[in-house]
């Protein structure tokens, strides 16, 4: 009957998720899963052996805490009030009637601090991570938080991620599913490229991540509230929320001096194998000949492969001809599914062919640049690129701040 067929289809879709949830409940091997930001490498956040499996697979330093992913607010409230059965928390909340937009989501005595209510109403599910006080006793494995008195929580927009968490019945600790120091994975293939043979039980394939950079990490427990990592939610958007008008940036981009507050910020990050030269937007706009000069420095090796990543300021003339490129030929490589095309041309100096140029235009929209950024760095690596020149984007308070933050970390050289 159609009803039975419908049930079978539903089971068919859910089967890999049920298998993944079973692995997460019963073993200590992590499972990779898609989110709207990047792929995560998940483990039951309440079990130490499981969480240790994440650090082992990634080669991640153990003082860098993990984000706890939840499937709904009830799961978060249970984390914040361990041991206390709070039947009213499972009822549709209706008690916080102070006349604002949060009324339907929060309780009068909600364990979720009220500073976060406007953010949760507006950005969850979505690319935002909030810091919360670690309850005592803590239901989370100590490996999740490293030595922090807080934990980061995120409700992902990806329905696949939320279904996995809910089937597991436990919050999932999950860092990005790349090998430590590599660009974050925005497709299942990226995860396999990095982590094959490293003890990951399963990679769930949910296609390409829509946002493409990680979540914004905020701390609302301090005053004024702070952004610890720029990400998918813009600082300009945070500022529109009640209590967040004076939010400060507590992260430092590479080159700026300060003790990092988010422990993860001090490590080498997001790096392809190729040398990355970042030209900040101001430079990229003005200096058309700069790449040609660079190539003179690299000098005459046969088979030199140069990547040029454009983000709207460089036209083909500015970005490519200055690289000594004679012609554009060929078409899309594997990048095409990611929403960009790698164009290949010949690299010439004078009349001499000295290698090839791989040209990618990510377009002028910062959201599109964020979406394709990590995938481009990985694709150019795969194609054997020696040096990648990247044109920066405007360093605004939108997702462009996340793009520039990641690019500055990936770059071995910055021209500002």
Residues that bind Mg ion (CB under 5 A): 176
For the range 348-351, what are the long-range contacts, defined as Cβ-Cβ under 8 Å and sequence gap of 24 or more?
348/324, 349/295, 349/296, 349/300, 349/324
Going 54 to 60 to 62 to 63, the CA torsion angle's sign is negative
66 binds, among Mg ion, ligand TXA, none (CB under 5 to 8 A by kind): ligand TXA
- If the CB atoms of residues 68 and 295 are measured against ligand TXA, the closer one turns out to be 68
- Which of 21, 73, 195, 217 binds ligand TXA (CB under 6 A)? It is 217
Q: Give the residue among 161, 166, 206, 187 at the shortest CA–CA distance from 373.
A: 187
CB atoms within 10 A of CB 395: 17
- If the CB atoms of residues 160 and 265 are measured against ligand TXA, the closer one turns out to be 265
- The Cα–Cα gap between 345 and 253 comes to 33
Q: At what angle do helices 188-195 and 366-382 cross, to 10 degrees?
A: 40
We find the least distance from the C-beta atom of residue 36 to Mg ion, in angstroms, to be 15
- Both tokens of 162, joined, read 């939320």
Binding segment for ligand TXA among 146-154, 192-200, 290-298, 330-338 (CB under 6 A)? 146-154
- If the CB atoms of residues 37 and 237 are measured against ligand TXA, the closer one turns out to be 37
- The Cα–Cα gap between 313 and 154 comes to 35
DSSP 364: S
Q: Give the residue among 76, 125, 73 at the shortest CA–CA distance from 232.
A: 125
Q: Residue 405, interface with ligand TXA (CB under 6 A)?
A: no
Contact between 197 and 54 under an 8 Å Cβ cutoff? The reply is no
We find the least distance from the C-beta atom of residue 209 to Mg ion, in angstroms, to be 13
CB crowding 50-80: b at 16 or more within 10 Å, else e: bbbbbbebbebeeebbbbbbbbebebbbbbb
Contact between 251 and 262 under an 8 Å Cβ cutoff? The reply is yes
Q: What are phi and psi of 344, to 5 degrees?
A: -115, 140
We find the least distance from the C-beta atom of residue 300 to ligand TXA, in angstroms, to be 40
Q: Residue 174, interface with ligand TXA (CB under 6 A)?
A: yes
Site string for ligand TXA, 17-36 (x = CB under 6 A): ------------------x-
Binding segment for ligand TXA among 10-18, 65-73, 88-96, 392-400 (CB under 6 A)? 65-73
Residues in region 228-257 near ligand TXA by CB under 6 A: 228-229
Q: Residue 45, interface with ligand TXA (CB under 6 A)?
A: no
Q: Residue 403, interface with ligand TXA (CB under 6 A)?
A: no
Q: Give the residue among 49, 97, 40, 93 at the shortest CA–CA distance from 70.
A: 40
Residues in region 323-342 near ligand TXA by CB under 6 A: none
We find the least distance from the C-beta atom of residue 17 to Mg ion, in angstroms, to be 23
Binding segment for ligand TXA among 164-172, 173-181, 196-204, 343-351 (CB under 6 A)? 173-181
Binding segment for ligand TXA among 70-78, 172-180, 318-326, 398-406 (CB under 6 A)? 172-180
Q: Residue 2 belongs to what H/E stretch?
A: helix 2-26
- The size of the interface with ligand TXA (CB under 6 A), counted in residues, is 29
Q: Residue 370, interface with ligand TXA (CB under 6 A)?
A: no
Site string for ligand TXA, 77-116 (x = CB under 6 A): ----------------------------------------
Residues whose CB falls within 8 Å of the CB of residue 302, separated by 6 or more in sequence, listed in order:
354, 355
Q: Residue 362, interface with ligand TXA (CB under 6 A)?
A: no
- The Cα–Cα gap between 94 and 116 comes to 17
Count of alpha carbons within 13 Å of 135, Cβ hemisphere only? 17
We find the least distance from the C-beta atom of residue 89 to Mg ion, in angstroms, to be 32
- If the CB atoms of residues 263 and 394 are measured against ligand TXA, the closer one turns out to be 263
206 binds, among ligand TXA, Mg ion, none (CB under 5 to 8 A by kind): none
Q: Give the residue among 180, 212, 211, 183 at the shortest CA–CA distance from 410.
A: 183
We find the least distance from the C-beta atom of residue 409 to ligand TXA, in angstroms, to be 11
Q: Residue 117, interface with ligand TXA (CB under 6 A)?
A: no
Distances (CA, A) of 169 to 65, 82, 135: 22, 15, 19
318 binds, among Mg ion, ligand TXA, none (CB under 5 to 8 A by kind): none
Sites of contact with ligand TXA (CB under 6 A): 35, 37-38, 40, 64-67, 127, 129, 131, 145, 148, 150-152, 154, 174-176, 214-215, 217, 228-229, 262-265
């Amino acid at each position: 009957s159609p009803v039975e067929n419908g049930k079978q289809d539903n089971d068919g879709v859910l089967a890999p998720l049920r298998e993944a949830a079973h692995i997460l409940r019963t073993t200590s091997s992590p499972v990779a899963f898609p989110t709207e930001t990047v792929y995560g490498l998940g483990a039951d956040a309440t079990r130490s052996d499981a969480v240790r499996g994440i650090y082992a697979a990634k080669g991640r330093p153990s003082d860098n805490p993990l984000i706890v992913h939840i499937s709904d607010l009830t799961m978060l409230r249970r984390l914040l009030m361990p041991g206390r059965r709070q039947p009213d928390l499972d009822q549709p909340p209706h008690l916080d009637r102070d006349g604002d937009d949060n009324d339907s989501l929060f309780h009068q005595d909600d364990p979720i601090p009220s500073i976060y209510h406007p953010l949760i109403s507006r950005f969850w599910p979505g690319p935002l991570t909030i810091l919360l006080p670690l309850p005592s006793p803590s239901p989370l494995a100590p490996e999740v938080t490293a030595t922090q008195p807080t934990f980061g929580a995120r409700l992902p927009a990806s329905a696949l991620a939320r279904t996995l968490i809910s089937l597991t019945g436990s919050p999932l600790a999950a860092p990005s599913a790349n090998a430590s120091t590599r660009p974050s994975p925005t497709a299942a293939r990226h995860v396999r490229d990095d982590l094959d043979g490293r003890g990951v039980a399963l990679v769930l394939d949910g296609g390409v991540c829509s946002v493409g950079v990680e979540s914004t990490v905020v701390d609302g427990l301090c005053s004024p509230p702070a952004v610890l990592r720029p990400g998918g939610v813009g600082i300009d958007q945070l500022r529109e929320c009640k209590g967040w008008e004076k939010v400060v940036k507590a992260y430092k981009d590479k080159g700026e001096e300060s003790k990092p507050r988010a422990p993860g910020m001090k490590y080498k990050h997001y790096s392809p194998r190729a040398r990355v030269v970042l030209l900040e937007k101001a430079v990229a706009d003005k200096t058309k000949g700069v790449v040609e000069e660079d190539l003179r420095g690299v000098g005459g090796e046969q088979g030199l492969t140069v990547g040029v990543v454009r983000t709207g300021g460089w036209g083909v003339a500015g970005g490519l001809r200055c690289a000594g490129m004679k012609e554009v030929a060929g078409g899309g490589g594997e990048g095409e599914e990611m929403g960009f095309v790698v164009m290949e041309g010949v690299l010439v100096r004078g009349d001499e062919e000295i290698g090839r140029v791989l040209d990618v235009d990510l377009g002028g929209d910062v959201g599109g640049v964020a979406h394709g950024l990590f995938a481009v760095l990985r694709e150019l690596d795969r194609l054997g690129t020696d040096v990648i020149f990247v044109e920066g984007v405007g360093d605004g308070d939108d997702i462009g701040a996340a793009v520039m933050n990641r690019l500055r970390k990936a770059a071995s050289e910055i021209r500002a």
